[in-house]
């Protein structure tokens, strides 16, 4: 039997668990009275640090591409890019890392801020990374048939390289695509329809104070433009949103009547906030709302080099200007609900404490490294008239563990308890089921892992089955222990 090593938990995971235990003391006492727990949903991801958000809307989901600040990073220790997706802006599925510095044979380090755009049924990921031959930053492009990858280097060499960073790509209504990037300058070049080559030479956008505001105190950089451009068009107006001033940065924007200008400075979107000296914008419309993505240092251990991505909903002013948007810990409201009667990936998470994710031998990813009391919150689960049972795909190399199903909070009402046997290995999968009672309406669901010491349960996916409870504890069909000892049924 292959035993999974029991690595030391990351500082981030321990820190989040510590923060969660503090939170329990202050938040969960009221939660015991009020079943709907008011709970932070920013940062979007808690089990790894994330940075440099780039959202993409495709086929009813928002895909979020980020960098990954390694634990204990003290100077942009970033080896890979990550992908997340959501159908409701609060429950985010972890798709892992389909692109890394190692994906580019010509690159040596630094998985910095990129963006993915879709065209002709393919997805193109433009990233800045260090070119080994020159030691300077260059822009690479990777391609995939799926928004979640796998992505492969489209060229085998940089698309363009001049030592500057932070590519953003915009495709105009006439089909012309533009690649913009830069720090300290702001460059653009016209991309060809193949999205992996360009016409003409890179050109500088004039950084005038009328176009990009006035910076004081740095004669080399007279305007506010610093880095991280994000270009898009709305209602005939072109927007460029960017990190301004340094350091600490804030987020500003300019508008223009065309994709190359002339630009007019429009002011601040997000003031300097949030314990990170950088910030980075990404804006999309999704299901009728507008969303602003950014990063800060809000997680335990967070800083300018251990950042995490958040999202806020906003509305444009009637004249097309963008209001001031502040960072919050509550984040964007949920769009719709989550259907518990179809397969849900265990790594679809609104909030968690203590868990990590890893590649699953059955494809995709699984939740793992769970210890006693660790939990996953899934927000706004539409139980309706209520389920009769819960089914999960699990693996474990230890016995006597269970997944508790709780409502409203990690210590909330128990509506089911599914025992998890020793399956013979952490990637040896079996399906377990248990009865459920008392889960009706729309509720926040907590999957809480309980058992002895050490790692307990890996979970790949789960779903509920609708209907009145049928297999009660103590009746034929499996012992209460096998089914996890379901404690009680609600009236």
Show the binding pattern over residues 321-360: x = contacts ligand FUB (CB under 6 A), - = does not: ----------------------------------------
Q: Does 178 bind ligand FUB (CB under 6 A)?
A: no
Quote the least distance from Cβ 476 to ligand FUB, whole Å.
Answer: 58
Residue corresponding to tokens 């959501």? 86
- For ligand FUB, the closer of residues 147 and 282 by Cβ is 282
Q: Which is nearer to ligand FUB, 44 or 376 (CB)?
A: 44
Q: Which residue in the list 94, 131, 153, 226 is annotated as catalytic?
A: 226
Nearer to ligand FUB, 244 or 332 (CB): 244
Supply the minimum distance, in Å, between the C-beta of residue 224 and ligand FUB: 15
Nearer to ligand FUB, 281 or 408 (CB): 281
Omega before residue 248 within 30° of 0, cis: yes
Minimum Å distance from CB 280 to ligand FUB? 4
Q: Which helix (H) or strand (E) holds 210?
A: helix 209-212
Catalytic pick among 37, 41, 52, 88: 52
For residues 300 and 17, give the distance between their C-alpha atoms in angstroms, rounded to a whole number: 9
Query: Dihedral (C-alpha) 269, 273, 279, 283: value to the nearest 10 degrees?
Result: -40
Q: Could you say whether residue 378 binds ligand FUB (CB under 6 A)?
A: no
Which of 41, 94, 153, 166 is close enough to bind ligand FUB by CB under 6 A?
A: 166
The residues in 36-95 that bind ligand FUB, with binding defined as CB under 6 A, are 51-52, 67, 76
Query: Does residue 131 have a cis bond before it (omega within 30 degrees)?
Result: no
Residues 486, 417 contacting (CB under 8 angstroms):
yes
Interface positions, 103-162, toward ligand FUB (CB under 6 A): 112-113
Please return the burial class of 456, using the count of CB atoms within 10 Å of its CB with bins 0-12, 13-18 and 19+. Answer: buried
Q: Is 374 labeled as catalytic in the residue annotation?
A: no
Kindly tell me which residue out of 97, 223, 278, 348 binds ligand FUB, with binding defined by CB under 6 A. Answer: 278
Smallest distance, ligand FUB to C-beta of residue 307, A: 8
Q: Whole-angstrom Cα distance, residue 259 to residue 79?
A: 32
Q: Whose Cβ is closer to ligand FUB: residue 253's or residue 461's? A: 253
Residue 449 gets the label, from left (phi > 0), alpha (psi -120 to 50) or beta, of beta
227 binds ligand FUB (CB under 6 A): yes
Pick between residue 280 and residue 406 the one whose CB is nearest to ligand FUB.
280
DSSP string of 255-280, one letter each residue? EESSTT---EEEEEEE-S-SS-S---
- Active-site residue, 52 included: yes
Mark 457-476 with x for binding to ligand FUB (rule: CB under 6 A) and - for no binding: --------------------
| Least distance to ligand FUB, CB of residue 76, Å | 5
The pair phi, psi for residue 316, each rounded to 5°, is: -65, 145
The Cα–Cα gap between 129 and 180 comes to 15
Binding-site size for ligand FUB (CB under 6 A) equals 13
Q: Assign 3-class secondary structure to 18-38.
A: HHHHHHHHHHHHHHHHCCCCC
Instruction: Look at the block and give the residue holding tokens 């008239």.
Output: 385
- CB of residue 69 to ligand FUB, shortest distance in Å: 8
For the CA atoms of 234, 240, 241, 247, what is the dihedral angle to 10 degrees? -170
CB of 241 to ligand FUB, least distance (A): 12
Name the DSSP letter for residue 485.
-
Please tell me the total number of residues recorded for the chain in this structure: 491
Q: Which residues are catalytic?
A: 52, 226
- Chain positions contacting ligand FUB, by CB under 6 A: 51-52, 67, 76, 112-113, 165-166, 227-228, 243, 278, 280
């Amino acid at each position: 039997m292959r035993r999974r090593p029991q690595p030391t938990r990351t500082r981030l995971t321990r820190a989040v668990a510590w923060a969660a235990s503090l939170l329990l003391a202050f938040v969960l006492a009221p939660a015991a009275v009020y079943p709907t727990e008011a709970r932070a949903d920013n940062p979007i991801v808690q089990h790894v640090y994330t940075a440099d958000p780039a959202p993409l809307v495709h086929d009813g989901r928002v895909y979020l591409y980020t960098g990954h600040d390694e634990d204990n990073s003290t100077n942009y220790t970033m080896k890979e890019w990550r992908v997340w997706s959501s159908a409701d802006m609060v429950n985010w599925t972890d798709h892992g890392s389909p692109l890394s510095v190692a994906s580019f044979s010509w690159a040596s380090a630094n998985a910095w801020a990129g963006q993915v755009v879709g065209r002709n049924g393919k997805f193109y990921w433009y990233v800045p990374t260090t070119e080994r031959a020159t030691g300077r930053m260059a822009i690479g492009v990777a391609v995939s048939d799926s928004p979640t990858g796998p992505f492969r280097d489209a060229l085998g060499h940089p698309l363009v390289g001049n030592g500057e960073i932070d590519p953003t790509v915009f495709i105009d209504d006439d089909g012309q695509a533009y690649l913009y990037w830069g720090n300290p300058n702001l460059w653009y070049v016209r991309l060809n329809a193949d999205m992996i080559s360009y016409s003409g030479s890179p050109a500088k956008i004039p950084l005038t104070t009328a176009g990009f505001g006035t910076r004081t105190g740095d004669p080399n950089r007279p305007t506010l433009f610093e880095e991280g451009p994000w270009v898009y068009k709305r209602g005939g107006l072109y927007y460029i949103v960017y990190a301004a001033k340094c350091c600490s940065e804030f987020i500003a924007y300019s508008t223009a009547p065309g994709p190359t200008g002339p630009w007019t400075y429009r002011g601040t979107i997000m003031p300097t906030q949030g314990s990170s000296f950088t910030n980075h914008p990404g804006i999309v419309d999704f299901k009728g709302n507008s969303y602003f993505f950014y990063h800060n240092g809000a997680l335990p251990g967070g800083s300018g080099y251990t950042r995490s991505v958040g999202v806020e909903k906003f509305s444009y002013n009637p004249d097309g200007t963008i209001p001031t948007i502040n960072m919050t810990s509550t984040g964007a409201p949920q769009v719709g609900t989550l259907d518990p009667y179809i397969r849900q990936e265990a790594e679809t998470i609104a909030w968690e404490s203590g868990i990590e994710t890893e590649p699953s031998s059955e494809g995709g990813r699984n939740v793992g490294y769970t210890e006693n009391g660790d939990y996953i919150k899934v927000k706004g689960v539409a139980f309706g008239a209520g389920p009769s049972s819960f089914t999960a795909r699990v693996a474990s190399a230890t016995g006597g563990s269970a997944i508790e199903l709780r409502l409203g909070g990690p210590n909330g009402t128990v509506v089911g308890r599914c025992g998890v046997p020793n399956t013979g290995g952490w990637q040896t999968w079996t399906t377990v089921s248990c009865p459920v009672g008392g889960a009706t309406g729309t509720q926040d669901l907590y999957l809480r892992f309980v058992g002895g010491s050490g790692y307990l349960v890996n979970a790949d996916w789960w779903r509920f089955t609708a209907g009145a409870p049928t297999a009660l504890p103590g009746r034929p069909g499996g012992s209460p222990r096998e089914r996890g000892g379901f404690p009680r049924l609600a009236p």
